[in-house]
């Protein structure tokens, strides 16, 4: 996981470096149009890879949104892929213009990481949860509750980044990865969780509370 010291996602530095080199090269040989295009792409990359500071809200049982975006799904489903039981599923669509840094929804230990190769359907479709390329992070809390956070590639997105490995201890609100250029994150929670969001609501990673896990304070 990364710290809050950097205001640009770690993947962004490489992209910016390459673009800046091409920008300087274009200037050197007086390719003004190319230089202009690279300058615009440099500015867009700074915007896309931005990593604003976030302050986690609520307590340890409150599930934070792992992504910036819009709620596109909130229902009870049977998750036969990762948790093998009925769960509350919350789907978050990340547009090209949302912050793409992903944050840990609950503190706990990574039980497993499951990767699935797949298609690149539009990430705002429910079918993307089944068919698209995805990476699932299975987390067990200190209260022995297991949830999963699934990063799903979209129509434009082609790279999923996930930093932790099995056994990593995670802190809610910390950064665990990102998906490049528009995508979706699904969160699978216990069926009896107390839901705190609604469909089409805009949420912010590491700040918006999606739900409260069952159990006693």
Q: Which amino acids are annotated catalytic? A: 183
For CA atoms 43, 46, 50, 52, give the dihedral sign: negative
- E strands, 65-164, where? 69-79, 85-94, 101-103, 108-116, 134-140, 146-153, 160-162
DSSP string, 110-129: EEEEEEE--B---TTSTTHH
Within 13 A of 11's CA, how many CA atoms are on the CB side? Answer: 22
């Amino acid at each position: 996981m990364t710290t809050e010291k950097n205001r640009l996602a770690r993947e962004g530095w490489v992209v910016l470096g390459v673009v800046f080199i091409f920008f300087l090269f274009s200037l050197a040989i007086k390719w003004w149009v190319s230089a202009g295009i690279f300058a615009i792409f440099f500015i867009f990359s700074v915007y896309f890879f931005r990593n604003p500071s976030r302050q986690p809200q609520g307590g340890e049982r409150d599930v934070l949104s792992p992504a910036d975006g819009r709620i596109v799904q909130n229902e009870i489903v049977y998750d036969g892929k990762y948790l093998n039981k009925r769960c509350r599923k919350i789907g978050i669509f990340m547009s090209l213009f949302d912050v793409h840094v992903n944050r840990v929804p609950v503190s706990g230990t990574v039980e497993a990481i499951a990767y699935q190769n797949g298609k690149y359907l539009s990430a705002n479709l429910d079918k993307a949860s089944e068919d698209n390329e995805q990476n699932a992070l299975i987390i067990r809390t200190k209260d022995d509750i297991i949830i999963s956070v699934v990063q799903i590639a979209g129509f434009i997105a082609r790279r999923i980044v996930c930093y932790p490995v099995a056994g990593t201890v995670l802190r809610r609100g910390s950064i665990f990865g990102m998906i490049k250029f528009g995508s979706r994150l699904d969160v699978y929670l216990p069926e009896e969780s107390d839901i705190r969001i609604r469909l089409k609501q805009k949420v912010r990673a590491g700040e918006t509370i999606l739900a409260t896990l069952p159990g006693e304070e």
